[in-house]
Structure formats: structure tokens, C-alpha cells
């Protein structure tokens, strides 16, 4: 057991946590996915993605998803043997199909192709279809930024299956949490990455709160009658997430829904994705870009913090710093969630 506890910034007020070594958690998660019928390389990739997400302090998309993923694999919602496949459609556009499998390897493959085309032609567009959950979207935006590309990722099209978020002024869920992620090379400390759901919280926080047996943050959820609530169980009874920033989040979600279904549809499994990548050297050489970017970011970092804040942070930097600090310590999982992981592992004979 590490001497110092991992750092776990969280939207959830959890008192008791169990610390698991990084390598041990990764190996256990991979065994669980293999026991569910996944190929070893897919199981390892998804396991590493989930653990890395926890290390970065984003537990809504981390190992608490093990139970959800295992259920989706066993129910047929996701196909355990599904592997991503790259093709061009009749108009020459690049498309990755996950063939009903995980979205994590599908998004990774799409980013590899998008980066390759952008580095050759300046800009690229790749769609992803027929995939399950994609995990932490910022990972792929950072993948593009690390390669010197401005990257924009938008997901939508699953409102029939996932009516999670109420439209602005509405009292019932009608839209998914349709997320966006943007990545761009930064200065000396790495890329700037923005990753957000268009609901006030990502759906994963509801699963995480229910799993941990705790309440959600205020003003993020309404019950089936449209009244404010913090109880995650009310969501499963027909409640809904409120839109991020009111009409702004609603507008972004609706845009993504039309793009994902009307433009990229039909939607199967979860939702469709559009990835746009552009080589930043189209307009400026890399060295000059980095120098200017560092100047901009230095101005941001030196801004005096407001009351209640220690410093002004650049998006993406905190998560990378947390992962570096936490990797040798492990990840801190809510005790109730850890019990569920152990129960799942025992049922699948993975311990």
C-alpha cells in the first residue's frame, strides 16, 4: 500500500476509498474483459484507458465503468469480438466502424488515420460509427495535439436510446450528454485539452454516485416531475440531467445530435462521432507557434486567482500532473465501488 494516498478530485463526496496499485488494477480490468469474451489486445487497451482516466482524477469515466461494460458485453449491447475497421465510403470519406465493439480502440484508430491524413493534406475528417462507449474523450484530443494537430471531436445521435438531458426549458430528458473535446498543441507543458459533456454533468457521474452510494452535486439533476434533486436513483426513475450553461449547452447538444444522426446516421450501439484534425503548420511553423502559445499561456497562469482558488490552471495540465503524481501511488476507488468490482471479478473467476 502506498504511503501517500492518491489525489482524487471528485464531484462526489466519498468518505471511504480503497487504494489499488496501478499495475494490479490494470491487470484485473484486462482479465475481466477477456473473461467477457474480448481479445487480449482490446482488453488491455480498454483496461489501460480506464485506469489512466482514474489516475487523472476523472473517475466518472474510469474503472467504475467495469460493471457497466461487463453488463453491456453480456447483454449483447456491445459485441465482445467487435474490432474497429477502417474504410472509405462511396464519396471517399474515411469511416471507422467498431463493428459493435468498444469505442475506445475505434476512436484511437480514427485518430491515427486522421493525424496521418492531416500531416499529408493539411486537414482531415474521420467518422466513427457502430461503437460502444468511448471512455475519456480528451485522451483522443490530446493524441491529436501531441502529433501537432488541432483536433475537434463531437459525438451525437443517440437520443432514442439515451434521452438523458432535458432541453433548455424542458422537464424531461430528450438528448444524450453529447460531448465535445478539443485539443491543440500548447507550450512547454504540453497540449491544451478541453473535454466536456453538454449536460451539467456527464452521465458517468450518475453511475459513479449510484455505485458509491452518494448524492450528486446540487443543480445538476431533476426528478421525473421536473423538480431539482441530488439523488441518482431519481434519474433511473425517469429524471434527467440539466443542460450545461442553460441554452448554450442545449444548443451544442442539439447541433451534435443533428450532426451525429441526420448527417452521419443511422446510429447503432451508442452514438456517432466526427473527428476533425488540422496540421497547425498550415498557418505557422511549429517553433513560432509554440513560442506564441507559451506567451499566451504564461499570461493565463500569472493571472491573480479569485477567492477560493489557489491558482489559474490551463485545461489539460492538471490532469497530466495528477496522473504523473498518482501513477506510483495507485488509484483510490470508493469502497462500495471496489466491492462491486471484486464481486464481478469473482463471478467471472478473474481473481
Q: What is the pLDDT of residue 3?
A: 55
Verify that 26 and 160 share a domain, yes or no: no
Verify that 312 and 346 share a domain, yes or no: no
Q: What is the pLDDT of residue 1?
A: 44
- Tell whether 229 is covered by a domain: no
Verify that 311 and 337 share a domain, yes or no: no
Q: Assign 187 a pLDDT band (cuts: 50, 70, 90).
A: confident
Distance of CA 270 to the CA centre of its chain: 14
State whether the Cα torsion 329-190-66-38 is positive or negative. Answer: negative
Cα distance between residue 12 and residue 7, in whole Å = 14
Task: Work out the average pLDDT over 317-321.
Answer: 94
Cell of 293: 502559445
Query: What CATH number is given to the structural domain containing 2?
Result: 1.10.1530.10
Verify that 6 and 154 share a domain, yes or no: no
- Tell whether 50 is covered by a domain: yes
More confident residue, 10 or 219: 219
- Tell whether 211 is covered by a domain: no
- Tell whether 309 is covered by a domain: yes
Q: Of 117, 129, 125, nearest to 152 (Cα)?
A: 125
**What residues contact 153, with CB distance under 8 A and at least 6 apart?**
107, 137, 140, 141, 180, 181, 182, 273, 274, 275, 276
- Tell whether 102 is covered by a domain: yes
Cα distance between residue 253 and residue 164, in whole Å = 11
Q: How many CB atoms lie within 10 A of CB 305?
A: 10
Tell me: the pLDDT tens digits for 160-186? Answer: 999 999 999 999 999 999 999 999 999
Q: How many helices and strands, by DSSP H and E, does the chain display?
A: 11, 12
Q: Assign 70 a pLDDT band (cuts: 50, 70, 90).
A: very high
Verify that 18 and 42 share a domain, yes or no: yes
Judged by DSSP in three states, 102 sits in coil
Percent of the chain with pLDDT over 70: 99
Q: What is the pLDDT of residue 2?
A: 46
Q: Which phi and psi angles does 297 have, rounded to 5°?
A: -70, -35
- Tell whether 156 is covered by a domain: yes
Verify that 277 and 348 share a domain, yes or no: no
Containing domain of residue 178, as a range?
Answer: 82-199+243-318
Tell me: the pLDDT tens digits for 250-261? Answer: 999 999 999 999
Query: What CATH number is given to the structural domain containing 309?
Result: 3.30.1370.60
Q: What is the pLDDT of residue 276?
A: 98
Q: pLDDT averaged over the chain?
A: 95
Dmax of the chain from CA atoms? 58
Predicted TM-score (pTM) of the model is: 0.94
Verify that 67 and 100 share a domain, yes or no: no
Alpha helices (runs of H) in the chain, residue ranges in sequence order: 22-35, 40-55, 65-75, 103-121, 138-146, 203-212, 232-236, 247-257, 286-301, 317-326, 335-347
| pLDDT value at 272 more than 90 | yes
Verify that 69 and 87 share a domain, yes or no: no
Tell me: the pLDDT tens digits for 89-124? Answer: 999 999 999 999 999 999 999 999 999 999 999 999
CA angle, corner 87, sides to 84 and 91, nearest 5?
145
Task: Work out the average pLDDT over 241-251.
Answer: 97
- Tell whether 215 is covered by a domain: no
Verify that 116 and 167 share a domain, yes or no: yes
Task: Work out the average pLDDT over 298-326.
Answer: 95
Residues 330/25, Cβ–Cβ less than 8 Å: yes
| pLDDT value at 345 more than 70 | yes
Residues 278/122, Cβ–Cβ less than 8 Å: yes
Domain count, the chain: 2
Verify that 116 and 77 share a domain, yes or no: no
Judged by DSSP in three states, 194 sits in strand
Verify that 29 and 159 share a domain, yes or no: no
Tell me: the pLDDT tens digits for 17-53? Answer: 999 999 999 999 999 999 999 999 999 999 999 999 9
Verify that 192 and 145 share a domain, yes or no: yes
More confident residue, 87 or 9: 87
Q: Which phi and psi angles does 332 have, rounded to 5°?
A: -105, 110
- Tell whether 225 is covered by a domain: no
Alpha helices (runs of H) in 173-260, residue ranges in sequence order: 203-212, 232-236, 247-257
Amino acid at each position: 500500500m502506498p504511503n501517500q494516498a492518491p489525489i482524487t478530485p471528485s464531484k462526489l463526496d466519498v468518505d471511504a476509498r480503497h487504494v489499488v496499485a496501478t499495475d494490479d488494477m490494470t491487470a484485473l480490468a484486462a482479465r475481466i474483459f477477456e473473461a467477457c469474451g474480448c481479445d487480449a489486445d482490446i482488453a488491455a487497451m480498454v483496461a489501460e484507458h480506464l485506469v489512466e482516466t482514474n489516475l487523472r482524477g476523472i473517475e466518472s469515466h474510469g474503472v467504475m465503468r467495469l460493471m457497466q461494460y461487463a453488463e453491456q458485453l453480456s447483454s449483447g449491447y456491445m459485441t465482445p469480438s467487435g474490432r474497429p475497421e477502417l474504410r472509405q465510403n462511396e464519396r471517399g470519406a474515411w469511416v471507422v466502424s467498431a463493428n459493435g465493439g468498444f469505442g475506445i480502440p475505434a476512436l484511437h484508430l480514427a485518430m491515427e488515420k486522421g493525424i496521418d491524413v492531416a500531416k499529408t493534406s493539411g486537414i482531415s475528417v474521420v467518422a466513427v460509427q457502430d461503437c460502444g462507449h468511448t471512455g475519456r474523450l480528451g485522451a483522443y484530443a490530446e493524441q491529436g495535439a501531441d502529433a501537432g494537430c488541432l483536433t475537434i471531436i463531437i459525438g451525437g445521435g443517440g437520443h432514442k436510446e439515451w434521452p438523458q438531458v432535458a432541453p433548455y426549458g424542458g422537464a424531461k430528458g430528450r438528448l444524450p450528454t453529447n460531448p465535445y473535446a478539443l485539443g491543440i498543441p500548447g507550450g512547454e507543458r504540453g497540449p491544451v485539452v478541453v473535454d466536456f459533456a453538454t449536460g451539467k454533468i456527464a452521465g458517468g457521474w450518475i453511475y459513479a454516485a449510484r455505485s458509491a452510494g452518494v448524492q450528486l452535486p446540487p443543480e445538476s439533476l431533476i426528478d421525473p416531475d421536473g423538480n431539482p434533486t441530488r439523488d441518482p436513483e431519481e434519474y433511473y426513475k425517469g429524471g434527467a440531467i440539466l443542460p450545461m450553461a442553460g441554452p448554450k449547452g442545449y444548443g451544442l447538444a442539439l447541433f451534435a445530435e443533428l450532426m451525429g444522426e441526420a448527417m452521419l446516421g443511422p446510429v447503432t450501439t451508442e452514438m456517432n462521432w466526427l473527428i476533425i484534425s488540422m496540421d497547425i503548420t498550415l498557418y505557422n511553423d511549429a517553433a513560432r507557434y509554440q513560442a506564441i502559445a507559451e506567451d499566451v499561456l504564461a499570461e493565463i497562469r500569472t493571472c491573480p486567482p479569485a477567492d477560493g482558488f489557489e491558482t489559474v490552471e490551463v485545461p489539460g495540465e492538471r490532469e497530466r500532473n495528477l496522473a504523473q503524481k498518482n501513477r506510483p501511488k495507485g488509484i483510490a476507488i470508493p469502497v462500495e465501488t471496489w466491492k462491486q468490482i471484486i464481486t464481478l471479478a469473482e463471478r467471472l473467476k478473474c481473481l
